[in-house]
Amino acid sequence: MTDRYQSFTSSPLGQMFVKNLGLPNPVKLDRYTPGAPLVDGTVVVGGSGRLVDVVTASLDNLGIATTAAAAEGEKYKGIVFDATGITTAEGLVAIQQFFTPLLRSLKACAHVVVLGTNPSQAESLEERIAQRALEGVTRSLGKEIGKGSTVNLVYVAPGAEATVESTLAFFLSPKSAYVSGQVARLGLTGTKKAAKVADQGRPLEGKVAIVTGASRGIGEQIARVLHRDGATVLGIDVPQAASELVTLMKELGGDQLTLDITGKDAPQRIAHHVKEKFGGVDIVVHNAGITRDRKLANMAEDRWSSVVAVNLVAPERITRELLDQGLINRNGRIIGVSSIAGIAGNVGQTNYAASKAGVIGFVDALAGELKNDITVNAVAPGFIITQMTAAVPFATREVGQRMNAMSQGGLPVDVAEAIAWFASPGSTAVNGNVVRVCGQMMLGA
C-alpha cells in the first residue's frame, strides 16, 4: 500500500519532472515519534488579544520553545497568531503585516495556528464580520503554504482561554501532520474548563477506551495510539476478525469482544462487558464502518440499510445504552468517525454519505445534551491509505490521493492522533467539533 508516485517524485529524476511539468510534489510529512519533543524547533507567538499570554504559558508547560520576535536568518517550526484583538475588517491587515515577512522563515512541515473568537460570540457586528474572515485566511494559506506545512484556526470562546493547551499540543505538533484548513471551536458548547494532564507522554493513563472495528486499518491504529497514550483498550470487531483482534489486543495488553455491532442485543452486551470488567468506560470510539457503493438508481435496499445500520444506527444505540446505564465516566469522550463523503458527497455513495453526514448530526445533537463534562466530537477522514482504499480503482485512487494540499493520502495514524486529541482529559472544552483529517482536500468546504 505504498504511494508509488510519491516514491518517484522524491528521486532526482522525479524532482526534474515535478519542476518542469508543474506536477504535484508530495513532501514526506513529519510524524510524531513517542519520546521525541512535541515540536522540533521554536514557535513564533504573535498578534494581540486575550490569548497571547496564555499561549506562551501553555507552550512553556508543554516544553515548546517560543519567541515573540522572529530573528533574521532563523528558521521556525511553527506560528501561533492571536487574532482575537481584531475587531474590524480594516484591522485584518494585521495578519498581512505579521505573516508576510515571516512565512519564508518556516522550516518544512511547520504548523501554523490562528486563534480567534467564535463569530457568534463577538461583541459587535464589526467584530463578528472580522472574526468570520479568519476562516478565509486560514483556508487559503493552508492551500498555498506548501512544504508539508499545515494551517488551522481555533475559535476560543470568551472564558475558555485556559483550555487551549491540549489543542495547541495537537495542532502545533506532527500529530496533526495531515490536518489542515480546519476550524476547531473550544468552549462553544458545554464546559469552558480543562482537566490537568498529569503526564504529557501518557495523558490517558488509567482510562478505558472502547474502539469498534479495532482489528485492522484505522481502528487498529486508533487502538495503538490510545494504548501508547496510556489507555486500556477494549477492541470490538466481528467474529470473522477474531484472530486478528485477539493478537492485537494481546500485544496491547487490552481486552476484546467479538460481536456484530448491529446485533439486536449488541449495545446491552457491550454495556454488560464494560460493567463487569471495568465498571465504566472513559472513551468510546465508533470506528467500525462499511461501504456498499451503488448509484441510487441501482441501489438495493439491503445495501442501503446495512451501511446505515453499521455506520450510524449502531453508534447511536451503543451510545444511548452506555449513557442510560451511566457507564460513561465523568470527563468521558464519545468520538465518531464521519467521512469527507458525508460533507462533500460522492458518486455511488448516497447510502454511505447519508450515514456519515448522520454522524455529524449525531455530534450536533448530543453536544448540547451531555452532562458530567462528557464530550462528543468526530473526525472526518479524507483519503486514508487502508485496505478499504486499496480496492478503489487506480484512476480514482490517484485523484483521491493528489487532490489535496499535501498531494498525498493520509495514514491511519493521522486519524488516530486526531482522536487522541479529542480523548485527552485536557480537551473537555473541545465539544461538538467535526475535524477533517484530509490534507485539506479540494472537495467540499
Cell numbers at 407, concatenated: 498531494
Q: Binding marks (x or -) toward ligand NAD, 291..320, rule CB under 6 A?
A: -------------------x----------
Helix (H, G, I), strand (E, B) or coil at 269: helix
Beta bridge partners of 236: 212, 257
Cell numbers at 438, concatenated: 484530509
Under a CB-based contact definition with an 8 Å cutoff, are residues 344 and 444 in contact? yes
- Binding window for ligand NAD (CB under 6 A); candidates: 85-93, 148-156, 157-165, 384-392: 384-392
Judged by beta carbon, residue 20 or residue 387, the one nearer ligand NAD is 387
Judged by beta carbon, residue 23 or residue 290, the one nearer ligand NAD is 290
Judged by beta carbon, residue 95 or residue 270, the one nearer ligand NAD is 270
Q: Which of 444, 423, 445 is nearest to 379 (CA)?
A: 423
Residue 269 touching ligand NAD (CB under 6 A): no
Cell numbers at 40, concatenated: 522540533
- Binding window for ligand NAD (CB under 6 A); candidates: 16-24, 223-231, 254-262, 370-378: 254-262
* Among 23, 65, 290, 403, contact with ligand NAD (rule: CB under 6 A): 290
Report the C-alpha gap between 196 and 426 in whole angstroms.
Answer: 6
Residue 216 touching ligand NAD (CB under 6 A): yes
**Is 155 one of the annotated active-site residues of the chain?**
no
Residue 336 touching ligand NAD (CB under 6 A): no
* Among 289, 315, 332, 426, contact with ligand NAD (rule: CB under 6 A): 289
Cα-based angle 323, 327, 333 (whole degrees, multiple of 5): 70
CB of 74 to ligand NAD, least distance (A): 38
Residue 260 touching ligand NAD (CB under 6 A): yes
Orientation angle between helical segments 217-228 and 412-423, nearest 10 degrees? 50
Judged by beta carbon, residue 263 or residue 279, the one nearer ligand NAD is 263
DSSP secondary structure code for residue 134 in this structure: H
Neighbours of 295 (CB within 10 A): 10
Judged by beta carbon, residue 49 or residue 219, the one nearer ligand NAD is 219
CB of 147 to ligand NAD, least distance (A): 24
Residue 212 touching ligand NAD (CB under 6 A): yes
Judged by beta carbon, residue 71 or residue 242, the one nearer ligand NAD is 242
Under a CB-based contact definition with an 8 Å cutoff, are residues 205 and 230 in contact? yes
Residue 208 touching ligand NAD (CB under 6 A): no
Judged by beta carbon, residue 151 or residue 285, the one nearer ligand NAD is 285
Cell numbers at 329, concatenated: 465516566
- Binding window for ligand NAD (CB under 6 A); candidates: 6-14, 100-108, 209-217, 324-332: 209-217
Report the C-alpha gap between 404 and 390 in whole angstroms.
Answer: 18
Locus of grid cell 483529517: 437
Write the CB contacts of 257 (distance below 8 Å, at least 6 apart in sequence).
234, 235, 236, 269, 270, 273
Report the C-alpha gap between 437 and 445 in whole angstroms.
Answer: 13
CA atoms within 13 A on the CB side of 178: 28
Which residue's CB comes closest to ligand NAD? 289
CB of 408 to ligand NAD, least distance (A): 13
Under a CB-based contact definition with an 8 Å cutoff, are residues 107 and 141 in contact? no
CB of 302 to ligand NAD, least distance (A): 14
Tell me which residues touch ligand NAD (CB under 6 A). Answer: 212-213, 215-219, 237-238, 241, 260-262, 287-290, 310, 337, 339, 381, 383-384, 386-389
Q: Which residues are catalytic?
A: 352
